[in-house]
Structure 1
Amino acid sequence: MKAETNILIAVIKQAGSGDEKAQALLYHQFSKAMYNICLRMTASRQDAEDLLQESFVLAFRNLSQLKDAASFGGWLKRIVVNECIRYSRQKLRWQDLEDHHHELPEDDTGNWIREIPFQKINEQIKDLPQACRTVFNLYVIENYSHKDIATALGISESTSKSQYHRARQLLKERILKLQTNG
């Protein structure tokens, strides 16, 4: 593992000096995982591909700002998530659900979801309305707080919570329907 880390650090340093082969190696190593983040956030192959490219260009341009080469993967992931947030801010028209936050269902234990294969859940997440999907992914997958989501997306914390609860409700309805039909 130590040798792998040393090789990765050397490749990152070469990529930072503009070495295209090193950049290609990093792209090859990290692109699939980063693409999956983009696809999960956008639900559009074309948008995910565009965001992936923009993220790598941004990362390669700013490699000199990376303080610890061993943390490249996490640093790149933050860039990708931030690019997805930027995309969402430009593309989304937020439906303000603040007036309805008192109608939100109580948070259930979520045990129903533990028995569903992840692939089915992931398919249903992709089909959520974009605002719900964005908040759901940031909250559940990326571990953002509602306060952080609100700040990042330029919405209220209440809207973030409402979109999250709406996403959970839609996911539960859709997945339970699949279980009874499938």
Structure 2
Amino acid sequence: MTDQANPANAPAAKPEDLQSQSAAAGTRMRLADMRLDELSLARLQRFDASAQTQVFRSFEHAVYNFCFRLLGQQSDALDALQDSFVQAFSRINEFHGAPVAAPAAAANGERFGAWLRGICLHRC
């Protein structure tokens, strides 16, 4: 993984922004239920830096909120957020879930959010 692909190099949101944006979104989707589309998954598996940035931005609020609920401190949650994405992106080829475009397989496949949640739990 290159330095550009590191989520630490993506513009960081402030902790209060992460919490307020999630609350403003109204209905929050549980991290475990979040999925990736087929194209994003394929790009991640090629370690595409722009795909990593896109996925990071799509999932960062849910991951931060999950980590914050577990850890209770903003700084700890931000560290866990970053560490979890670095680990997920470096281990993306271990993810064997079904992307959104494969609904028949999705029932048996692991959701990306559930896989990422497991990484967060292990980190926290």
Structure 1-normalised TM-score? 0.41
Equivalent position amino acid for 2:120 in 1: V
* Aligned residues of 1:55 and 1:83 also touching (Cα < 8 A): yes
Equivalent position amino acid for 1:53 in 2: Q
Structure 1: segments with no counterpart, 5+ residues: 85-182
Equivalent position amino acid for 1:63 in 2: I
Deviation at 1:75, TM superposition (A): 0.6
Work out the CA distance in 1 between the residues paired with 2:118 and 2:73: 20
SS at match of 1:23: helix
Per the alignment, residue 73 of structure 1 pairs with 113
Deviation at 1:15, TM superposition (A): 1.3
Of structures 1 and 2, the one scoring higher in RCO (CA 8 A, sep 6+) is 2
Aligned: 1:17 with 2:46: yes
Which stretches of structure 1, 4 residues or longer, exceed 4 Å deviation after superposition?
A: none
Work out the CA distance in 2 between the residues paired with 1:69 and 1:25: 19
Per the alignment, residue 60 of structure 2 pairs with 31
Per the alignment, residue 105 of structure 2 pairs with none
Counterparts of 1:4-153 in structure 2, within 5 Å, are: 8-70=37-99, 71-84=111-124
Deviation at 1:58, TM superposition (A): 0.3
C-alpha offsets along residues 17-51 of structure 1, whole Å, 9 cap, x if unaligned? 11111011111111101100111111111110011
Bigger Rg, which one: 1
Structure 2: segments with no counterpart, 5+ residues: 1-34, 100-110
Structure 2-normalised TM-score? 0.59
